Structure 1
């Protein structure tokens, strides 16, 4: 499954996927509930956003 991020439907990506025998199934635009990574990102944001970090190393 793939969303419609610019590189996913690109000709090069499609050709490469065809060579590897991969068939993309595109989810409809604006369908975050169908995108498997969205729940993970949502929980990560909840965990990280309240924190204030001094610098990148403390993150």
Structure 2
């Protein structure tokens, strides 16, 4: 997995591709504040650094 190929700000689809999980799992992680994220309008965004930190600290 090469996170460098992704932009600095990830979409939910990017997160799904990286973690190989469903959209529902990503949304659960966001709503439970397990994966730090922010909203732009009504769309979730995740910083690439936050995704890397999540992968390093978690067993999802």
Q: Which has the larger radius of gyration?
A: 1
What TM-score does the superposition give when structure 2 sets the normalisation length?
0.25
Higher strand proportion (structure 1 or 2): 2
What TM-score does the superposition give when structure 1 sets the normalisation length?
0.26
